[in-house]
Structure 1
């Protein structure tokens, strides 16, 4: 059983996004695309309307740092 994902679980969200989109160039992802991908993750359980630019930028930054150590 997988853990549910919430907006404050940015690292776990990043890991799931890396599994779902292993070949994506993180630098080409826009905020709107990221939002759609996150809310479409199977274990995402939070309210989509709680997202804001700061949360999405944090996820994007963490993803970038994960693939570019």
Structure 2
């Protein structure tokens, strides 16, 4: 998975952190959790605020 796989990242985060409200996650934790996903394989330097916002919104949509 790469940073551009926003929907898949959101699905995996939802599965890995079922008890977490995605609206309450800060970007530092969010980035670390994405990097820790087993299938994630991308450069942390390619991540920015816009990508993290997109991941967070996709996660919110996933659990809604």
Q: Which TM class, normalised by the smaller chain length?
A: over 0.9
Query: Unaligned stretches of 5+ in structure 1?
Result: none
Query: Unaligned stretches of 5+ in structure 2?
Result: none
Task: Using structure 2 for the length normalisation, give the TM-score.
Answer: 0.94
Displacement, 1:67?
1.2
Question: Are positions 1:49 and 2:39 aligned together?
Answer: no
Distance 1:62 1:29 in 2: 13
**Superposition misfits of 4+ residues, deviation over 6 angstroms:** none
Q: Find the structure with the greater CA-based Rg.
A: 1
Partner of 1:60: 56
Cα deviation, 1:16-67, whole Å, max 9, x if unaligned, reads 1111101101111011110000001111111111000000000001111121
Distance 2:39 2:25 in 1: 21
Distance 1:27 1:12 in 2: 18
Partner of 1:35: 31
Task: Using structure 1 for the length normalisation, give the TM-score.
Answer: 0.88
Note the aligned Cα RMSD (angstroms).
Answer: 0.7
**Aligned pairs, number:** 64
